[in-house]
Structure 1
């Protein structure tokens, strides 16, 4: 179950000096020492000892680097996020608009172009997004077998990189492929239009009867939950598939009410299949320190996987870590209330939410498992990546840490 969040912010108390100083003189590696300082800084913040926390974060900021090893780069991003949290407190009463508040917890390199570019790099240099797309696509292919017209409702389409492989698979499996219509949703209408144009050209090259409908939705879960059904054109002869890859967590707020309303709304559309992919982490904990520790463990595994599989001088890795992961880490660590959007939950929470919203788990096929294994073997041939099948769903992680889950529902 999801925990309720408290909107209460810790009050800064300059006269509070009852907490111990950060530990010194560790008989361990410099990386472990810096990591412990990072945790100590988070503990000081949770104890409202903000002056001491600022001294520690200042030390961390000057001694860590985005160009070192994985531990150094991780500490750099987390110390930066802690600094943003501390600075946000300092300027909180001077904020004059919600847009200013939002920018205070964003990454400096946060223009739409750099974010989109870093997402494409993430898709290339790590297997996690491609694994999610490939597995969701196979679940959709299995569900639409034999249908003459399909409609895919895709939430948070972005550049639409998930769909060319699906189109190619559809074109190759039948001499008379079905009509395909994708309703792509997002917050930027121009991006959606460009995505639709690219997909349309690709579909034409395959000889597919394809149509893309861009649908701009507000960055507001209640808007999506209450107004979505009237915004979607559903045709009686179409088989509907709904794709929620790394999307549902964005609808979470203080509780799961909004996401349940959303799921019940799409349940009423009677889809043949609903695909869900999410990060396997609890970054939605209401207590800051527990959320921080969970995020630190999760992104340690992500950074270590990049360290082991991507060249040290890779500009793509730098973009992924500084822009994409940096944006996520800053939001998890520095933001509170409505500003906090990266509210990832573990698979068992999504199972409870999906079932209570009227959905049943559909086992992913053995062929989907073979495809996922082939993806790892051909493109990411590191023994560190671990693929598991549990509860009829797939989980991909690094070493002993599970990082992503993909499941199918109806």
Structure 2
């Protein structure tokens, strides 16, 4: 993708900031590529050219370029083919929508569903968690950070803003059971759910059973609201003497299209006076008002993910196909094919979050060296492809990437 980007710039009449920002200062070696790699560069070049044409409303020219792409890619082929398949499909939808809009034919009652992994494909989530290092890297860094900040607490109250399948808390419970100097008297986990309360309660029962086997007393509760305006401090039932910790795993960015909800959540959390808030987020600027810049940022981000899937999971694995189609494919559609309130995927970088969190008097604290050591241990022991997962510090937070491309951030915060 980087080679294609450089070649696209070289042959373009004008520079596109959204593309040039990704080009390595040393450049890439355009010669010496295999015939297969050269074919992939050609396809990626066509895709970038098509996106430029769409951005400048040259839909007929974009359509011709897409036709060349679509006949040469497959959603089950080479990782570059797979990523171009999904981006071509999204560009095609954008072209169709814009042409219909110009002709006054837009369907105002059309409803899109970009629910992705939250739609309940649990087994796919589990396969992804076990095969790709990013999820476990973020979880273990987060858990270690939480453990360090509640080391002296006898009563711990975890507020999880997105429970998912709850597997992140089994190593945490195990670690607490091994703490001898200051034994834990009580662990509370409050799961914040806006959908599927019953599923969360089943997960809670499994966690309680596991905690009992580890001699940890666990109280599990689900806080569920239909309208975010109904979210109140009292719902979390915090008690004096509890060390309150908030865990936010890639959930705040989902609220960017609804900023009022995001502000409500942070105001309520601030009033809970948590000892710590750990935030995992997507590290990509997919919220730019510039279509071409947003497209290019998304292309490099998802290309790194598809490359990771290609290195870590067999090409024909049905769960790989499932995550590419049901999660990433829909995310690409949202970023590329939609605008305004309809565009749900709006990730931003850690620097944007830093500015935003300052408004709520949140102070960033350092992710410790021991957390970094824990992450490296996970990569070495659990993943054959772990060497391609890159961990870097950005100020006080961790940036998790793939072969140097940033994908996620792990940061820790306290409220003044």
Distance 1:251 1:111 in 2: 14
- The within-5 A match list for 1:128-143 is 128-143=134-149
Distance 2:409 2:118 in 1: 29
SS of 1:328's partner is helix
SS of 2:344's partner is coil
Query: Which of residues 105, 111, 115 in structure 2 aligns to 1:101?
Result: 111
SS of 1:213's partner is strand
SS of 1:360's partner is strand
* TM-score normalised by the chain length of structure 1: 0.83
Name the counterpart of 1:362. 365
Name the counterpart of 1:176. 183
CA contact (8 A) 1:106 1:331 kept: no
Name the counterpart of 1:7. none
Name the counterpart of 2:390. 386
SS of 1:102's partner is coil
Deviates more, 1:372-381 or 1:226-235: 226-235
1:321 paired with 2:321, answer no
Deviations 1:274-330 (A, max 9, x none): 001111110111122111100001111222222233333333322222222222222
CA contact (8 A) 1:158 1:191 kept: no
CA contact (8 A) 2:191 2:222 kept: yes
Name the counterpart of 1:250. 254
Distance 2:223 2:236 in 1: 8
- The within-5 A match list for 1:1-400 is 29-89=38-98, 93=105, 95=107, 97=109, 100-103=110-113, 112-114=119-121, 116-174=122-180, 176-186=183-193, 187-218=195-226, 223=228, 227-253=231-257, 259-382=262-385, 383-400=387-404
CA contact (8 A) 2:231 2:268 kept: no
CA contact (8 A) 1:125 1:317 kept: no
CA contact (8 A) 1:95 1:101 kept: no
CA drift at 1:153: 0.9
Name the counterpart of 2:406. 402
CA drift at 1:91: 6.4
Distance 2:394 2:61 in 1: 45
CA contact (8 A) 1:106 1:330 kept: no
CA drift at 1:204: 2.3
Distance 2:188 2:174 in 1: 15
Name the counterpart of 2:30. none
Distance 1:215 1:367 in 2: 32
CA contact (8 A) 1:260 1:353 kept: no
SS of 1:153's partner is strand
CA contact (8 A) 2:197 2:222 kept: yes
SS of 2:246's partner is strand
CA contact (8 A) 1:359 1:409 kept: yes
Name the counterpart of 1:11. none
Distance 1:58 1:180 in 2: 57
SS of 2:238's partner is coil
SS of 1:409's partner is strand
- Unpaired segments ≥5 residues, structure 1: 1-26
Distance 2:327 2:353 in 1: 24
* TM-score normalised by the chain length of structure 2: 0.82
CA contact (8 A) 2:243 2:274 kept: yes
Q: Give the aligned length.
A: 373
- Unpaired segments ≥5 residues, structure 2: 1-34
SS of 1:33's partner is helix
After superposition, the Cα gap between the structure-2 partners of 1:95 and 1:29, relative to the gap in structure 1 and judged at 3 Å, is same
Distance 1:49 1:243 in 2: 45
